[in-house]
Amino acid sequence: MTNHLDARRERASALKLYGLLAHWDELPTVQDWVDTLLSWEETERQHRSLERRLGSARIGRFKSMADFDWGWLARCDRDAVEDLMGLGFIKEAANAVLVGPNGVGKTTVAKNIAYQSVIRGHTVLFTTAGQMLNELAAQDGDIALRRRLKRYAQPQLLLIDEVGYLSYSDRHADLLFEIISRRYEEKSTLITTNRPFSEWGELFPNASCVVSLIDRLVHNAEIISFEGESYRLKEAKERSEERKKKRVIARKQR
């Protein structure tokens, strides 16, 4: 009984329920409501913590992997994707790169990995390449820039979506190199891109750091190729066909 009471008191202390602790010795020996109170408080705080961390991660809306249509892809190493979902690469401070054309599910996979990482207690930040690089480039002064660089360098997992959808200046290339360098072999970075590395020189014309950037990014990285037609285009066609059927039925019922 003493051990059980000590465990209760430790739980109350961890929750910082100082009012309850101040009157602890006044409690009867057995009080089931204390266990109920502690359980409620623990559950609620865990829920609030998860919601707060999900908000900070900025993952946004996404489709669960349970609804992911693997059969639509012409080629993808599903085992490699599922291995990433296990998050072992974060413990190793390794990187991951998802390469493939638009609409094949790279962002969906990345957001699911981000979500699982938050659930497991990792610090996570999801961003697009354009948003991150434009934000960094817009900083006025070294102090503001260092503060923003730190924001992207700190999370245990940084996900940079849509590298390759826009072209960037040498300044943007230097900033991306700075982020990758700060995280190199210390934190994990996951990138989605629609361009093979052989074409990255076109994304950052005349930037001298591109080779070094790619070298640090792919060192000890899992690179997974996605091949297939756009799943978004497939869904758009299906919605169009469904609307067409509804219009035919509506005309027949008139």
* Mean pLDDT of the 31-48 span: 72
pLDDT at 30: 55
Question: Quick one: which of 174, 179, 189 has its CA closest to 220?
Answer: 189
More confident residue, 43 or 128: 128
Which residue from 137, 139, 110 is spatially nearest to 126, judged by alpha carbons? 110
pLDDT grade for 31, boundaries at 50, 70 and 90: low
Domains of the chain, earliest start first: 2-56 (no CATH), 65-233 (3.40.50.300)
Residue type, 247: R
* Model confidence at 205: pLDDT above 70: yes
Q: Nearest CA to 118 among 72, 62, 67, 55?
A: 55
First to last CA, the chain: 76
Query: DSSP secondary structure string, 131-144?
Result: HHHHHHHT--SHHH
CB 121 within 8 A of CB 87: no
What pLDDT does 91 receive? 95
The pLDDT, as a whole number, for residue 182 is: 96
Query: Picking from 25-29, 58-62, 89-93, which range would have the lowest pLDDT averaged per residue?
Result: 25-29
pLDDT at 90: 97
Look at residue 102 and tell me whether its pLDDT is greater than 60.
yes
Q: Which of 18, 15, 10 is nearest to 49 (CA)?
A: 15
The model's pTM: 0.78
pLDDT of residue 192: 97
Please compute the mean of the pLDDT values over residues 153-179 and round it to a whole number.
Answer: 93
- pLDDT for the residue 1: 45
Q: How confident is the model at residue 4 (pLDDT cuts 50, 70, 90)?
A: low
